Chain A
Amino acid sequence: MSIRTIMLIMLIAGTVRAVQASQYVSLWPLPQKVKILDLSFKLTSFNIVDAKESSAGSSCSLLQDAYRRYYEYMFGIAKRQGPRKSRLTGPSELTELQVWITSPDSECDGYPSVTSDESYELSVDLPYAVLKAPKVWGALHGLETFSQLVYEDQYGAVSISDFPRFAHRGILLDSSRHFLPLKVILANLETMAMNKFNVFHWHIVDDQSFPYLSRTFPQLSQQGAYHPYTHVYTPADVKMVIEFGRLRGIRVVPEFDTPGHTQSWGKGQKDLLTPCYSGSKPSGSFGPVNPILNTTYDFMSQFFKEISTVFPDAYVHLGGDEVDFTCWKSNPDIQKFMDQQGYGQDYKKLESFYIQKLLDIVTTTHKGYMIWQEVFDNGVKLKPDTVVHVWIGGGANEEMGKVTAAGYTTILSAPWYLDYISYAQDWQKYYKVEPLDFDGTEEQKKLVIGGEACLWGEYVDATNLTPRLWPRASAVAERLWSAKDVTDINDAFNRLSVHRCRMVA
């Protein structure tokens, strides 16, 4: 008997630890509708092909690439473990999976967006399996699901109809507190795809370091990165991340967080940050971006113009969180400006003044923007398609209510700060979150477009990122994809245990 079959039988018999076979086999995230029929099949000399009627063909590199990748997942593992033998003796042989993009515009050469159709239907029946999807994005998800079925090889015909509950399912990585080498970012995108995540929120710069190599302002990384050669992302690196993500249906949304969290920006851009004062003299240290100088906005214009051409996604994340007012308060020029504007002592108004101008700049680059909740909380005037990112732990439910009542789309991260590690099975608390569990109308709840699991980098780098993020983030993946009533934690444990082994393999 093959090793796989032995493990399978032990799995079914429930003698291996406490994992039992789920009736949903081990699909993760659980599809919206799964029906398992009683036939059985065997896979030999298997192919993944374009269906004749498909609007995507051999020129669709996104799909061709995916076919090769998934073939390797499914049969590469088998090859490593020796010849496959199905334990079932049915004569039925499945020879191919046909992929049928049904919409005339497959979107094969495009970029995924928050409105992309990610639905698919999978029917595994003889003589061939058919994966139907309106767009390539659905096909990618269908291939992932199919590969999860094949990993087990123990059951038979299947009929699946699937689509995500939420359109924005993201992971935040922080490459400023610690530089993250490209390999780790790409490996993470690969794992995200296995979990049907579709947004990589790249918190690329912050106080500690500025690894983004800007064409327009190369001194930013030259002075601000941990090391100007070994700890930067060149334009080629960035392109690679974006394309690697695209081929997996993952949007890359960059975050350039201002006016706080910008210490590293000031090293290569003099006069960008506010000089703090000690009494009547500059103290030598610097604070947030200086909101009163025209040069600030000239810089931001040029900088965000570049960003809008480098990153194709329709959105950029502008940050706007945790602005410390003490430095502004100490600076006499700023005090004078506050008087001139009639802001009194309310520095929130100054922050709003800055953000407003920034948002206007970004709007001229034809990008939508996402901002952390403080920007909304402080009463800044936002465009209607602004996405508000709720992250503050206490009172997140009320905040969700407030933001949606004001008519803005929102994404939730507050309960999913995965950098906060603790002993034992904390994935369960991430799984139990219900994003729509706040007081609001149905209309309001429709404005919640999803959420993000955040892995802030204070204590994380390439040495520990992967085991810290996975499989805990998988709990968030299912919460954002699967139906609201998929809450059985024991069934989840059984499926997630197998899914985790699959990711390791």
Chain B
Amino acid sequence: GNFVSHSLYLHTVEGVWPLPQSFTSSTERYPLNPKAFYFGYGRQSAAQQDCSVLDAAFKRYFSLIFPDYTSGSGDKPFTVEIRVDHADCDSYPNENSSERYNLSVSAGQASLNAETVWGALRGLETFSQLVYQDDFGTYFVNKTEIDDFPRFQFRGILLDTSRHYLPVQAILKTLDAMAYSKFNVFHWHIVDDPSFPYQSRTFPDLSSTGAFHPMTHIYTQSDVRRVISHARLWGIRVLPEFDSPGHTQSWGKGQSDLLTPCYRGSTPSGTFGPVNPVLPSTYQFMARLFKEVSSVFPDSYIHLGGDEVDFSCWKSNPDVRAFMQKMGFGGDFTKLEAFYMEKIVNITSALKKTSIVWQDVFDYHERIPKDTVLHIWKGTPASYKEELSRMTKAGMRVLLAAPWYINHIAYGQDWRNYYTVQPLNFSGTEEQKKLVIGGEVCMWGEYVDATNLTPRLWPRASAAAERLWSDEKQTSSVDEAFPRLQDFRCKLVRRGIRAEPLHVGHCKHEYQGV
């Protein structure tokens, strides 16, 4: 409303990011006293005390809601009562988990209803963003009615821990910030050409020879477990990617014969190319590695990569050429790549995992299992729209990352570009559009490590977060989004996330501990 002053308007639901699907807010407000503030389980809730996810969340959200727990005026108690339909406290979030919630704030109490604990987490996040302080430090929350659910089921962030090692703390901090923006998938691009930091139990040589440093720059099994359990408590799925057959230079150091030896004329040149698709030992190795990965990472999805395979090394190798002849592939190396990927997808299918692959696999090949998810990563808007049409027409589920390569920095307010993406603006039927299950913000690591990850990721990734969660029509104006995102960014800063500024200005609470 025009007659509500700017800062007051942000104290209502408009101050929540991403914007909930439907809401009514009011200027009627209630003071909150941290000394008389309680979280509780409703009598009809399937989840009760000892629900690990929610008990942990209550503790976390208390500090987030009352950042300087000193002031407290009035003695009116306020209770946030949670009611959850399914007590899935000990499970992991999955691709079908409902994140729907209903939040109703009135005098002395808030009712938060959700189907699952994951929905309750989303509702708690929203509630924490509704609480604000006046100039004297008193906490308030306005009368509000919210019905919310995500537009897309899969809202991910990709981190690349191969181009630069990211310490576990940096990953955990990123998970926290993801939860504040309601991201729900951590796509861990854990290994690649430059380094192999994943310490495998089955093949310890992979990291001992392939990591930047075998002790200081690895993820032990316990590190990985820590990331997965921290993510679970935030309702975030951890999707591992073991990209092959390209992007595997670092794998060859600890696994001889895995990579294809390149030839110069008739002699090996000493360099290596993609994974060698002609040796049975390759598939034995992959089967054992993916068996381990499947048990270490509980999510039912796994990302197999399959992008940017350079054929020149395969071409140069006489054994590979001979294999091509034998298989009747002629001179078409895309057929060899397809052959390889098919075998890998079969391995992971047998392990009861659903595979996600980069779009290259689809572009080069038609025979992929129907439930494989395709990941669009390249091209101009015109070309990725075409790709969306083609893939969904073929009945395949799709994830969109192409417009959200936020590692590509530029001067000025580029968050606007990420905000204005229209994921379903391509030619296709309603049925086709349902196959777009979500999108991903990618932070590739060529120029990123722990020294600059956080300001580069936030709040720009939050722009995409709203695009993936909220109703597109209600969030089509960049000008309306700007003050909300600026305010949300200050919330992130106050919560200890070094989110960079959108433009000139200041936050009321900054630099405590900088």
Could you tell me which A residues sit within 8 Å of B by CB distance? 3, 6-7, 16-17, 177-179, 181, 183-184, 208-209, 226-227, 230-231, 419-425, 457-464, 466-468, 504
Contact = CB atoms under 8 A, between A and B. Distances in A.
Given A208-B504, A459-B413, A463-B454, 6 more contacts: A419-B411, A424-B446, A459-B411, A462-B514, A463-B500, A464-B498
Contacts of B499: 463
Nearest to A460: B501
Contacts of A461: 500-501, 510
Interface of B: 194, 212-213, 215-216, 407-413, 446-447, 451-452, 454-456, 493, 498-506, 508, 510-511, 514
Chain A CB count within 10 A is highest, among B447, B451, B504, for: B504
Q: Which 6 A-B pairs have the closest CB atoms?
A: A467-B452, A464-B455, A226-B506, A463-B498, A464-B500, A181-B511
Contacts of B410: 421-423
14 contacts: A3-B213, A3-B215, A177-B504, A178-B505, A178-B506, A181-B511, A183-B514, A226-B505, A226-B506, A421-B410, A459-B501, A462-B510, A463-B493, A467-B452
A120 to B, nearest CB: 30
A464 B500 CA distance: 6
Contacts of A16: 212
Prevailing SS type, chain B contact patch: loop
Nearest to B511: A181
Contacts of B455: 463-464, 467
Prevailing SS type, chain A contact patch: loop
Contacts of A230: 511
B408 A423 contact: yes
Contacts of A227: 506, 508
Nearest to A467: B452
Given A183-B514, A467-B452, A178 B409 contact: no
Nearest to B454: A463
Nearest to A181: B511
Given A463-B493, A464-B498, A504-B451, A422 B409 contact: yes
A208 B407 CA distance: 29
Contacts of B452: 464, 467-468
Contacts of A422: 409-411
A421 B216 CA distance: 31
A467 B452 CA distance: 6
A422 to B, nearest CB: 6
Nearest to B492: A463
Contacts of B504: 177-178, 208, 457-458
B160 to A, nearest CB: 15
Contacts of B498: 463-464
Given A177-B504, A208-B505, A17 B409 contact: no
Contacts of A179: 506
B503 A184 contact: no
Nearest to B408: A423
Nearest to B489: A463
A206 to B, nearest CB: 9
Contacts of B451: 466-467, 504
Contacts of B511: 181, 183, 230, 462
Contacts of A178: 501, 504-506
Nearest to B410: A422
A231 B452 CA distance: 24
A231 B454 CA distance: 23
A424 B500 contact: no
Contacts of A177: 504
Contacts of B213: 3, 6-7
Nearest to A500: B451
A461 B459 CA distance: 14
A459 B408 contact: no
Contacts of B514: 181, 183-184, 462-463
A459 B506 contact: no
Contact of A458 (B409, B456, B503): B503
A56 B503 CA distance: 48
B412 A459 contact: yes
A424 B493 contact: no
A425 B409 CA distance: 12
